[in-house]
Structure 1
Amino acid sequence: MDGIEIPNINHFSTQGASGGPVSIVNADLIREINFYTGAFPANRSGALSAVLDFSLRDGDPDKQTFKGTLGASEISLSGSGHFNKRTTYLFSIRQSYLQLLFKMLGLPFLPNYIDGQVKIKSHLSDSDELTFLALAGIDKMKLNTDEKGEDAEYLLSYLPQINQETFTVGASYRHYAGHHTQSIYLSHNYLNNRNVKYRNNDESSEDNLTLRLRSVEQKTSLRAENRSYLNQWTLREGVEASYSQYTNRTLQRLYQAQAEVSDYKTDLGIWSWGLFVSADYTSPDKRFTSSIGVRSDASDYGTMSRMWKQISPRLSLGYAFNEQWSVGGNIGIYYQLPPYTALGFKDESGKLINRELDYTRVTSGSIGMDWHPDSRLAFSIEGFYKQYGNIPLSLADHIPLACKGNDYGVSGNEALVSSAQGQSYGIELLARWQVPEKISLTGSLTVFRSEYRNSKASSYIPSAWDNRFILNMSGTWELPRRWSIGGKLSYIGGTPYTPYDIEKSSLVEAWDAQGRPYHDYTLYNTERLGNFAQVDVRVDKNYYFRHWRLGVYIDLQNVTGSRLKQPDVLMSTGEIDNPSAPLAEQRYKMKYLKQESGTLIPTLGITVEF
C-alpha cells in the first residue's frame, strides 16, 4: 500500500495463511489497485500467486470533506483534507456491531471488529516528499453458548474464543532529482493472535482446557530504491532488509495415534535481506513494451542464507499490432519464506524441528491477447501455468500446508518437510462494456485445474482449491434522477472434499482433543460438492444539497435464495457407546448433521458526505 508492505489486510485472519471474512481496508480511500498474477515487480518480495498493490488517494488540498456511513453491520467515518498548503491527510475509522446482529439472528458465534487507516503526505520542498501510513484492526469473537440446536452445538464444540490485534505503520521518503528518483521505505507490522478453547465451553476447571495460544508476529523492514528515466528506458535497483520476531506460547491437546499434549514456547528472531534490479523499455511508437528483472532473497534461518538458491528472474513482453489488437506474455520464478508458525514450531523437548525447510518456489508463465473493437468495448483471453515446488508437507497428514484450507486459528504449527509440489493451469476470458455515466458491465470466466502431489514420485490429485471454473458478472446502470442499480452474478464449481475418518473421530480421546471430526486423508479430495450460484442486487439513490450529500441504498444479497450445500458433518452425541471399555478404546455414539445454508440478506444503509 503506497509502497509499504501490509501482510494482514483482513479481520479474523488465519495466522500462517491468508484469508479472513472482512477486509480492514476501506475501499473509499483507494485511488487504484494493480493486481499482478504474474511478472511481479522486482521490488515486491514474498509473492507466489499474486500481488495486490494499493494506491491510496491523497488528501484534499483545497477543502475538508467527511463521509459517514451507517449500514447493517457497521458504522464508519472517513475524511480528507489538509493541515496546510504542503500537508494533506486521509483517514477512516469503522466500528462493527456484528455481535448484536448475530445474536438477533441466533448464531452461536459473535464477532466484532474495529479498524482504522490514516495517510499523511507532506511536500517538504519542490523535490522532497514524506508520507506516513498506518493501518490497524482489532477483532474479538465470543461464543454464544445460550444458543441451542444441533448446528450451534457443532460450531460451539470446536470454535475458540478469538482476540486479534494487527497494525502496520510506515513512512516513505522520496527525492526527485531530474531523471532520477530515490525512495526509502521504513515500516513495522504486528499481529497478536490469542485463542482459548475449553471442552464443552466449561471454564470451571483447567482440566477442560484444550487450547490456549498466544502468538505474536512482528516485522521491521527497510527498503531503498532508485528509479531512473532514460528516454525509452526505466531502470530500477534497490536493496532491502528486515528483522522478524515470532513468539508463541501454546498448550494444545492433540490426537494422532494416541492422546497427547503439545506445550511449547518459542521466541524466534529472523534476519532477511534481498536485492533487486529491473529495466523497462517502451519503443518510440509505444507498440512494443518489455520488462526484465531479477531479485534474490535470503534469511539466516536454517540453510536459507545462500542467496544464489533464491535467484528470481522475471520477463514480460507486449506488442500492439494496432489500436484494436495486442498480445503479451510473462514468465518468472518467485520465492516465499515459509510461515513463522512453521519456522518457530518446537517439539516436546523444545527443539525447532522445521529447520530444514526451504523457500517455497513457483515458476509461473502466461500468454494472452486483448481486443478493443472501440473505446467502450474490450475483450481479453489469457492462458496460464504455474508450477509450485518446496511446498511444506505435513508429516502427520501427508497433506501440503497450502491444501488444508483456511479456518479460524493457526496454520503451519506442526512438523513439516519441503517435499510437496503443485500445479495450476487454465484459461481466463474477460469482457468489458462501458457507456460513460450510463452503463458499466464486466464479465469473466476462468476454467482451470489446481493439483498437488507429495513428491516427484507421486501422482497429481485435486487440491483444496480445484473448483474447475469461476464465473463472475457484474454491472451498474445509472438511471435518471440520481438513481442507480447494480447487480452481480457469481457461479463457481463445486469444491472437492475429503470424507471423515469415522473410526478415529468417534474415539472419546480424539473427539475431546479438538471437538470436531477428523478427515480420512487416505481418501483426500475424492468427493466433490455441487456447483453454486448467487445473485446480489443493490439500488442507490443520492440527494444533493448545497454543502452536503445524502445517499440511501438497499443491498440484497442472494436474491435467488440459493442454498450452499456442504458435506454432512459427523458429530458426537456426547453419549459413550462402550463406557466399560478402557479409556483409550471408548467411543462416542455419532450422528450426522446436514450442512446447508443460504438465505436472502437485505441491508439498508445511509451515507452522509459533507
Structure 2
Amino acid sequence: MKKLFLPLLIVLFSFAATAQNGTIRGRVFNEKSNEPLPFTNIVIFGTNIGSTSDLDGNFIFTGIQPGFVKLAATSVGFESYISEEFQVTNAKTVFVDIPMRETAIQLEQVVVKASPFRKTEESPVSMRTLGIGEIEKSPGANRDISKVIQALPGVASTVSFRNDIIVRGGGPSENRFYLDGMEIPNLNHFATQGSAGGPVGIINVDFIREVDFYSGAFPANRGNTLSSVIEMRQIDGNPERLIFKGAVGASDLALTLNGPLSENTTFLVSARRSYLQFLFDLIGLPFLPTYNDFQFKVKTRFDQKNELTFLGIGAIDKSVLNTGIKDPTEDQRYILNYLPVNEQWNYAIGAVYRHFRTNSFDTWVLSRNMLSNVAYKHINNDESLPLSIDYTSQEMENKFRYENSSRINGYKIIAGGGGEYARYTTNTFQQVFIPLAEDTLREIRYGSEIDMFKYHAFAQVSRNFANDRLILSLGMRTDGNSYSENMSNPLNQLSPRFSAAWALTDKFFLNFNTGRYFQRPAYTTLGYRDNAGRLVNKDNNLKYIASNHVVAGVEYRRNETAKLTLEGFYKHYNDYPVSVVDSISLANKGGDFGVFGNEEVTSTGTGRAYGFEVYLRDRLMDRVDLIVSYTFVRSEFKDFNDKFIPSAWDNRHLLNTTLGIDLGKNWNLGAKWRFIGGSPFTPWDLDRSSLREAWDARRQGYLDFSRFNTLRTENAHQLDVRVDKQYFFDKWSFNFYVDIQNAYNFQQEGAPNLTTVTDGLGNDLIDPADPSRYQIKEVVNLAGRLLPTVGIIVEF
C-alpha cells in the first residue's frame, strides 16, 4: 500500500491541476511626482493581451495563465517601459507598480525601443538586472541570491560551499548591499567578520522583486565600495487578503506571511530555520552549523505624495564541532584541530520615508545594524583544558541618509548626504607564532573600543543630448570619519565619476565610465591594538583604500529579448592595507571563515585588475532562454620586491552557460555549466610548521610567504541541473523542484592540507631526529561533491 502512495499522489496532482487563471492589478504613475497616468496602454509583454489605466492610473488583467510574465507600458510624452519579471498564480492577485519617465518628443531622433535590458543614466555600463524568475529557477543556486550572482559576467565562484562574491579580481570585502535603499551588512549566514562570504544566503527570495548588480560605474549615492553594489528591491504586501507561503529546501524550512494591515498599509514577514546540521552530520562533516533568520517589511501610503516603509532583516548562527565522529579521516581531523566554535548574530532595521514633489522626490533613510561575533576553542577540543582562542566582538552602526532626485529642464540631478555613528568593541585572546626570522611564540591579548562619526555627501548630474542619442553623467562624492586626521579630511576622499552612452542606431550602443572610488578599512583593522593597548594602525596613518576604474563597452540588441555586450575593464588599487607580519596585502585575504583584518597593517599596498567580459542573452523559439558569459581577468598586486604577482583571485578564465527550457504544462528544465580557472596558492613552510611550539599555537601549518602564490590549483568545472513543476489549484498553488549541484561529481584538487602524523590513538608523533618537531605530512584536499536537493513550495 505504501508503495502505491507516491504514484497515486502524483496522479491526483496531475488531474487536480486544472487551468486556473490569475489576476494582475497595478498602478501607472509619473516617477518624479507620483501623479497617476490615465489612459496608459499596458500589455502582457510578448503578447497582444492589453489593458488601459483609468483616471487614477489603475489597471487590471484577469484570466491570465499562471507563470512568469512582464508588462510593457506606453504613454504619450513618456518613455516606454517594460516591468521586471513577476510570477502570476491563482493563489493571489499580483500587484505591480509601473513608474514612467517623462521624455521630450523630437523628430529625427534615434528611437530606442523599450527593452527589458535596463540601464540608467548614471550607470550605462557594468549593470545587470536579475528578475525573480531567474533567481527562483537558477540551477544549482537553490533560491540563493549570492549563488545566482556568481553566474554573472566578471564574478568568480568556487566548487566549495562558500558564497563569496569575487568581482573583476577584487576581494570579497569590496562589495556593498542595499535592501529597498537601506544598507545591510552582508548577504550570508556565518559571515567572515571584516569581509563577507558565508555558506548560505540570508535574503528570502519570496520578498524580492528584482536585483540590480553593479560591477562598476557606481552611482554617486552609493559609496564605500571598490568592486560591486547590489541593490535589491522587494515586493509590497498583498493589499487584498492574507497570503501564506511555505517552502522546504535542501537545508531549511521557511514560512512567509503577507497581507493588509489597514486600507493603506501592507506587511511582509518571514522566518526560516535550518536543519543543515543533520545533513552535515549524516555525510560526516567535522562542523555542524545551525542558522535562523527573519525578514519583514511594513509599507504605508499616507497619500499620493507620502509613503513610509519599515523593514528589517536578521540572523542567528551557531557552528559547533562534530567531535563525535568515530575514527576521523585526515581531512576531518585537520579541520577539527584548528576550527573554533562560532556563535554569531546580526540584524539591520530601518525606515525609508519618501515624499514626492512636482518635479522631484525626497528619500530619507534611518537605520541601525549590528553584528555580534563569538569564537572560542579549547586545546585539543577538551573543555577541561585552557582556551587557545577566546574572541568576542560587536559592530554597531546608526545611519542617516537623505537623497533628492529631480528632473529639471532635461537634467536629472541626484544630490544628498548623510551621517553615521559607529561603535566597535572586542576582547581578543589568541596564541600566535610570529613567522619572522626571529620565530617567537606569544599571546595576543587586548581589549579595544572605538567609536567614530562618519559622513558623506554626493551629487550627480545627467542629461540627454543629440536628440537622446547621447547621455552624459558627471558625479562627485566624498566620505570621511573621525578616526584620524587623515580620514577626517574630505579632500582626501574626493570621488569623481563620469559616464557616457552613445546610441549609434536603435540596436548598437557605445558605453563608457571612469571614476575613483574609496572604501574604509574594516572595523577589525581600525580597532586593532597591541598588547599595550595602542591603536597601532591609527599610528601607522591608516588610509581609505582607493581604486581608479575605467570601463568601456559595446552593446548590440538584436531584438527585445536578445542582447550581446563586450566590456573591457581596468582597476588600479592604492593605499591597500598590507600586513606587517607577513608583508601580504589584505587584498588577498577575507575568503575564509573567522575574522579578517585584525592585525597591524600599513597603507602601502598597490594592485591592479584588468580584463574583458562577453555576455550573451537570448530567447530562442519562445521557449528556450540562453545566457552565456565569458570573463578574462588578471588580478595582481605588488610584493615586497615591488613586482606584480598574482592575487588570490587571479582565476584568469570564467565561463558560465545557463539554459532554461519551458517544457509546457508548467514544467521547466534548467542547466548551468561553469568553468573556473585555477586559483593561485602558497606552499607550506614545512620547516617552520613542524616546530612543536609553532604547531601547538594554532594547530595549522604556516605558509612560505617568500613563495607567495607561486602555485596554482587545477581548473574547476561543474554542471548544475534543475527541474521545476508547478500545480495550480482553485485557491492555492504547489511547486515541486529537484536541484542537482555538481551533477557529474567533479572534485577539484585544491591547495593541500598540512597535518601531523599520528599514532593509532590520534596522538601527534614527534620527529625522532629532532624532539622539538612533529612529524608532518601534506594531505590531498578535494573540494566539490554531488548535492541533490528536493524542494517544495506551497502558497495559499
TM class by shorter chain equals over 0.9
Are 2:602 and 1:429 equivalent residues in the alignment?
Answer: no
Letter in 2 for 1:138: I
Are 2:694 and 1:502 equivalent residues in the alignment?
Answer: no
Given that 1:232 and 1:284 are in contact with CA atoms closer than 8 Å, whether structure 2 keeps it comes out as no
- In the alignment, the residues of structure 2 paired with residue 167 and residue 402 of structure 1 have an alpha-carbon distance, to the nearest angstrom, of 26
Q: Which deviations, in whole Å up to 9, do the C-alpha atoms of 1:562-590 show, x marking residues without a partner?
A: 11111221111243435897xxx711111
Aligned to 1:547: 731
| CA distance 1:205–1:603, shift in 2 (3 Å) | same
Aligned to 2:625: 440
Are 2:577 and 1:373 equivalent residues in the alignment?
Answer: no
TM-score scaled by structure 1? 0.97
| CA distance 1:5–1:392, shift in 2 (3 Å) | same
Q: Structure 2: which 5+ runs fail to align?
A: 1-178, 758-762
Letter in 2 for 1:575: D
- In the alignment, the residues of structure 2 paired with residue 327 and residue 554 of structure 1 have an alpha-carbon distance, to the nearest angstrom, of 41
Given that 2:756 and 2:765 are in contact with CA atoms closer than 8 Å, whether structure 1 keeps it comes out as no
Secondary structure at 1:136's aligned position in 2? strand
C-alpha RMSD over aligned residues: 1.5
Are 2:196 and 1:18 equivalent residues in the alignment?
Answer: yes
Letter in 1 for 2:471: T
- In the alignment, the residues of structure 1 paired with residue 259 and residue 701 of structure 2 have an alpha-carbon distance, to the nearest angstrom, of 53
Given that 1:579 and 1:586 are in contact with CA atoms closer than 8 Å, whether structure 2 keeps it comes out as no
Q: How is 1:447-458 mapped onto 2 (pairs within 5 angstroms)? A: 447-454=632-639, 458=642
* CA apart distance, 1:390: 0.4
Secondary structure at 2:419's aligned position in 1? strand
- In the alignment, the residues of structure 2 paired with residue 32 and residue 299 of structure 1 have an alpha-carbon distance, to the nearest angstrom, of 33
2:709 to 498, 522, 525: 525
Given that 1:538 and 1:554 are in contact with CA atoms closer than 8 Å, whether structure 2 keeps it comes out as yes
Aligned to 2:778: 592
Given that 1:211 and 1:253 are in contact with CA atoms closer than 8 Å, whether structure 2 keeps it comes out as yes
2:718 to 515, 519, 534: 534
Are 2:334 and 1:154 equivalent residues in the alignment?
Answer: yes
Q: Which deviations, in whole Å up to 9, do the C-alpha atoms of 1:424-447 show, x marking residues without a partner?
A: 000000000125962211110000
Secondary structure at 2:750's aligned position in 1? strand
2:482 to 294, 297, 300: 300
Are 2:385 and 1:201 equivalent residues in the alignment?
Answer: no
* CA apart distance, 1:49: 0.8
1:33 to 183, 187, 211: 211
Secondary structure at 2:226's aligned position in 1? coil
1:333 to 492, 496, 516: 516
Aligned to 1:564: 748
Given that 1:188 and 1:221 are in contact with CA atoms closer than 8 Å, whether structure 2 keeps it comes out as yes
Aligned to 1:577: 766
Given that 1:326 and 1:371 are in contact with CA atoms closer than 8 Å, whether structure 2 keeps it comes out as yes
Aligned to 1:475: 659
| CA distance 1:218–1:560, shift in 2 (3 Å) | same
Aligned to 2:347: 167
Given that 1:199 and 1:515 are in contact with CA atoms closer than 8 Å, whether structure 2 keeps it comes out as no
Aligned to 1:144: 322
Question: What is the count of residue pairs matched by the alignment?
Answer: 604
- In the alignment, the residues of structure 1 paired with residue 792 and residue 666 of structure 2 have an alpha-carbon distance, to the nearest angstrom, of 15
Letter in 2 for 1:173: Y
Secondary structure at 2:182's aligned position in 1? coil
* CA apart distance, 1:558: 1.0
Given that 2:548 and 2:572 are in contact with CA atoms closer than 8 Å, whether structure 1 keeps it comes out as yes
Aligned to 1:357: 542
TM-score scaled by structure 2? 0.74
Secondary structure at 2:781's aligned position in 1? strand
Are 2:674 and 1:490 equivalent residues in the alignment?
Answer: yes
1:230 to 400, 408, 412: 408
- In the alignment, the residues of structure 2 paired with residue 116 and residue 279 of structure 1 have an alpha-carbon distance, to the nearest angstrom, of 38
Letter in 1 for 2:525: A
Aligned to 2:500: 317
Are 2:277 and 1:80 equivalent residues in the alignment?
Answer: no
Given that 1:222 and 1:241 are in contact with CA atoms closer than 8 Å, whether structure 2 keeps it comes out as yes
Are 2:695 and 1:511 equivalent residues in the alignment?
Answer: yes
| CA distance 1:24–1:436, shift in 2 (3 Å) | farther
Identical-residue share of aligned pairs (%): 40
1:459 to 627, 643, 667: 643
* CA apart distance, 1:281: 1.2
Secondary structure at 1:18's aligned position in 2? coil
- In the alignment, the residues of structure 1 paired with residue 566 and residue 206 of structure 2 have an alpha-carbon distance, to the nearest angstrom, of 30
Aligned to 1:393: 578
- In the alignment, the residues of structure 2 paired with residue 10 and residue 212 of structure 1 have an alpha-carbon distance, to the nearest angstrom, of 23
- In the alignment, the residues of structure 2 paired with residue 171 and residue 438 of structure 1 have an alpha-carbon distance, to the nearest angstrom, of 41
Given that 1:8 and 1:166 are in contact with CA atoms closer than 8 Å, whether structure 2 keeps it comes out as no
Aligned to 1:342: 525
Q: Which deviations, in whole Å up to 9, do the C-alpha atoms of 1:359-406 show, x marking residues without a partner?
A: 000000100001112223211000000000100000101101120242
Between stretches 128-137 and 282-291, larger displacement belongs to 282-291
Secondary structure at 1:512's aligned position in 2? helix
Secondary structure at 1:575's aligned position in 2? coil
Letter in 1 for 2:483: Y
Given that 2:570 and 2:608 are in contact with CA atoms closer than 8 Å, whether structure 1 keeps it comes out as yes
- In the alignment, the residues of structure 2 paired with residue 437 and residue 137 of structure 1 have an alpha-carbon distance, to the nearest angstrom, of 41
